[in-house]
Chains A and B, each alone.
Chain A
């Protein structure tokens, strides 16, 4: 690795109904594998990944917390909103209900999070909805697509959310979802929305010249090397 480590550390959270595949998305992002039968997430799990945004010439370190979608943990999940820079609001394209509930999750986000938080709506399990989807043994009500791309896109537009459909199983759209969100945050940074580190979820890795951060720079170089 050359001297570059990362320019920003961004805190992300993943939220949405239970069983929409939040943990799987995180595992897909960080480990490039599919988590077939995950236990329901109790509390929050953590993963991180370096993402390069070529057009900004920036490397971003994504720190992602995966939250529990079950109702009983909802109030705990709220504790995470305030500190986050980005939020993946996930629903399941094969479950109408999860899409409907996304509204209440969004309300939560709006109420507790930083107003400049970037939120991206992610329709997961897109692989099950595509025409030639293999017949997978699933509860009957999750068969086939129940939320059309157009409808979700429209709602996202109304609410000012970014939108992407993804599949943690095939990997389609997963990295994209995070990248799109990162770009949006970087744009906000560029436009000066966060006045010097005002968002708790965005941390600037201080430039080398500063000297103070020398340690972090070289350390992170090592990290990327291994």
Chain B
């Protein structure tokens, strides 16, 4: 400071006359030239640093060139001038000023210094300066430049000699202050530049970043660790090359150990409590959220081939279902759970925890072990920690349940799984005609009867039950057929059984446990689930029509009714048998009554009633009491155009309009326009009206339903007609072709089997014949050989005999007997 004031006095001149800032700055600018002595230059820079804040425009105009030259040339020699010059430039480009002209000047100054790439290069060079303050000042200046002109600095960085290595080495600086500043700068440097991301990975930036996290003591280190992990996230997110490299290192398993999870966990190994129950605070949750995101990136990028794939999947499942992690983290876990990992759910056993009441999250009870699938359904049906805070319908809690529904949807993607689950809800076949369905948590949720006053927790529970049940039935004829046979036990039994099921982890995995003994109290015939739902619907309409409800309660009833209508329309679509059952349970009257009302009831409800009525009409194809012909005049009286109008108004409603894939937990109240006279009970409260799957279903069939309403009772079902939209026609025709082909294939298979079978028998017969013939041949052969031998023997005998005769004749001749010559001659001639 002393030095500074001396210089200032010297510059002001001996006369003591007051100088204007312009004059001073001009004078100082002159001193910056390489012609002056180094100490003079240093003094001038120090003075300018002081003036820069107040006179951004002037100093920028006059001195920026000189300063940048000093940074390029002098800085390397003299730490003091380097630091001062860097700081002066940082001040000149600082745009956080409140005055707009100052901000403007700052942006002009930035553009000026960035014109020359070698200027940025020299700042990167100074990152490795021996002097700590120079390194720090260089780093701050780079941060400032990156904040305003990221692309220019990034381009310069890529051409800077040795730039990457310098940046990376900053991260291991022993002085925290600098390492933090470097991390901050790095985060900006790597944004949206895969080149820089790669080159830094090459220079070992991953190792350094994880080094920071572990050095700081893991995720508990809070913000610092969080920033480091955020940088890792950026480096990996859209960078396949870096992902491959990262997986080569040992860092993927470090991600597990940061959360106290064993990266080499094997399937039957229990997860330690230090993982399940951790101390969480906001900062740690933020850092852990980055860890989960990184795990998500790696799982998506590499799929099952990932070395840590099992550990990651297990970690996500354990953290979601069996830990005290913050709710948002659990939601994240479920969101990152790969679809192909869901088959693990029924096999994996987890130990859920519950906070001990009034210990402020410090004590936890271990619950019974359950499969992850049970835990999932439990979570969907009741909410986190068995519905501890379900009353509040907080955004985080509802999001978690909605995300769990997505996981469930992935799990039942295969229709055989759906069938198995629905089949598990049927009365056990072995238990005779009086058997009833076992009460699974899902069935229990569906059976919730409407009871005044509406209970918030039960209603949401029913909504989720209906949503997942609809997932099982939608467009799955086999499941619909099975579902029609669900015979819930009588209400008394339901309450008893489910009372228990409500507070233990869900045990609804099919096939169900032993059938409950149902007391025989057959006052009336047992009702199927569908009939009960129809009855609950009419009961709810009845309760809703009382005019004593507050706005809150009315909305609850609406919610209840809407979800019933949604479930029923998805069930009844393309299922004439279910339509018959519904109509015979008195569904028709209920719907017509609602559609007919001109009152100010919710447009969504009348719309959905018209929608369901349309479905009933369209698919009323089974013989029965109420036929299409009986329905037609009623529809006519209601007026097809009125009905179509109701359906159209449904589309306009905000509750349906704003639902999107992955977004159906809506802020309370929706629509927004209600906010004026309506106060939600809790802060950040959310609500559900429709899930996306229903909206999607509704959009795809709505036109067909509207057209169906106008049809004559004798009209054929539209699915085989031409009135459907192009896509569904295509789907239908494809489905048709497919089923035909399947039949054909079956037929061909059968024929192939027949042909093969007959061929085999023929072949067998032929082989047998061949064997016989061969045997015969062999015997013949031996016979022939015998005969030949005999013949030979005879010939030999004959030969001997003729010899003997010759001799005898000779003897006779010698004895003077008369011997016939002729014969002998002939004989001899013969022999010759």
Give chain A's interface residues, CB within 8 Å of chain B. 11, 43-48, 61, 63, 65, 75-76, 78-80, 82-83, 112, 200, 215-216, 218-220, 222-223, 226
Determine whether the beta carbon of B253 is less than 8 Å from that of A47: no
Determine whether the beta carbon of A83 is less than 8 Å from that of B203: yes
Determine whether the beta carbon of B244 is less than 8 Å from that of A222: no
Determine whether the beta carbon of B264 is less than 8 Å from that of A11: no
Q: Taking CB as reference atom, which chain B residue is nearest A223?
A: B307
* Docked complex Cα distance between A223 and B308 (Å): 9
* Docked complex Cα distance between A73 and B198 (Å): 13
* Docked complex Cα distance between A47 and B240 (Å): 11
Determine whether the beta carbon of B241 is less than 8 Å from that of A43: yes
Determine whether the beta carbon of A63 is less than 8 Å from that of B250: no
Q: Of residues 194 to 220 in B, which have CB atoms within 8 Å of A's CB atoms? A: 194-195, 198-199, 202-204
Q: Which of chain A's residues have a CB closer than 8 A to the CB of B194?
A: 43
Determine whether the beta carbon of A79 is less than 8 Å from that of B158: yes
B2 interface hit (Cβ, 8 Å): no
Q: Of residues 161 to 214 in B, which have CB atoms within 8 Å of A's CB atoms? A: 161-165, 194-195, 198-199, 202-204
Determine whether the beta carbon of A79 is less than 8 Å from that of B245: no
Determine whether the beta carbon of B198 is less than 8 Å from that of A63: no
A-B contacts, 13 listed (Cβ < 8 Å): A44-B202, A44-B241, A46-B198, A46-B242, A48-B248, A65-B198, A76-B158, A79-B199, A82-B165, A83-B204, A219-B250, A223-B307, A226-B307
* Docked complex Cα distance between A82 and B199 (Å): 11
Determine whether the beta carbon of A76 is less than 8 Å from that of B307: no
Q: Which of chain A's residues have a CB closer than 8 A to the CB of B203?
A: 79, 83, 200
Q: Taking CB as reference atom, which chain B residue is nearest A225?
A: B307
B159 interface hit (Cβ, 8 Å): yes
* Docked complex Cα distance between A220 and B204 (Å): 18
Given contacts A76-B195, A112-B161, A218-B264, contact A47 B202 (CB under 8 A): no
* Docked complex Cα distance between A79 and B161 (Å): 7
Determine whether the beta carbon of A222 is less than 8 Å from that of B202: no
Determine whether the beta carbon of B253 is less than 8 Å from that of A215: yes
Q: Taking CB as reference atom, which chain B residue is nearest A80?
A: B202
Q: Which of chain A's residues have a CB closer than 8 A to the CB of B248?
A: 46, 48, 61, 63
* Docked complex Cα distance between A65 and B242 (Å): 11
User: For A43, A46, A48, which residue has the most chain B Cβ atoms within 10 angstroms?
Assistant: A46
Q: Taking CB as reference atom, which chain B residue is nearest A220?
A: B250
Determine whether the beta carbon of B159 is less than 8 Å from that of A75: yes
Give chain B's interface residues, CB within 8 Å of chain A. 158-159, 161-165, 194-195, 198-199, 202-204, 241-242, 244-245, 248, 250, 253, 263-264, 307
Least distance between A30 CB and chain B CB atoms (Å): 10
Contact partner of A46 among B161, B244, B264, CB < 8 A? B244
Determine whether the beta carbon of B164 is less than 8 Å from that of A79: yes
For the complex of A and B, the 3 pairs showing the least CB-CB separation, nearest first, are: A75-B159, A46-B245, A46-B241
Q: Which of chain B's residues have a CB closer than 8 A to the CB of A82?
A: 162, 165
* Docked complex Cα distance between A83 and B164 (Å): 10
Q: Which of chain A's residues have a CB closer than 8 A to the CB of B161?
A: 78, 112
Q: Which of chain A's residues have a CB closer than 8 A to the CB of B250?
A: 215-216, 219-220
Determine whether the beta carbon of B198 is less than 8 Å from that of A43: yes
* Docked complex Cα distance between A83 and B200 (Å): 11
* Docked complex Cα distance between A200 and B162 (Å): 13
Determine whether the beta carbon of B165 is less than 8 Å from that of A83: yes
* Docked complex Cα distance between A11 and B163 (Å): 18
Q: Taking CB as reference atom, which chain A residue is nearest B164?
A: A79
Determine whether the beta carbon of B241 is less than 8 Å from that of A219: no
Determine whether the beta carbon of A11 is less than 8 Å from that of B202: yes
Q: Which of chain A's residues have a CB closer than 8 A to the CB of B241?
A: 43-46
* Docked complex Cα distance between A215 and B262 (Å): 11
Q: Taking CB as reference atom, which chain A residue is nearest B257?
A: A215
Determine whether the beta carbon of B253 is less than 8 Å from that of A79: no
Q: Which of chain A's residues have a CB closer than 8 A to the CB of B242?
A: 46
Determine whether the beta carbon of A44 is less than 8 Å from that of B244: no
Q: Taking CB as reference atom, which chain A residue is nearest B240?
A: A45
Q: Taking CB as reference atom, which chain A residue is nearest B199?
A: A79
* Docked complex Cα distance between A216 and B159 (Å): 35
Determine whether the beta carbon of B307 is less than 8 Å from that of A75: no
Determine whether the beta carbon of A76 is less than 8 Å from that of B253: no
Least distance between A208 CB and chain B CB atoms (Å): 15
* Docked complex Cα distance between A45 and B243 (Å): 10
Determine whether the beta carbon of B199 is less than 8 Å from that of A47: no
User: For A44, A80, A226, which residue has the most chain B Cβ atoms within 10 angstroms?
Assistant: A44
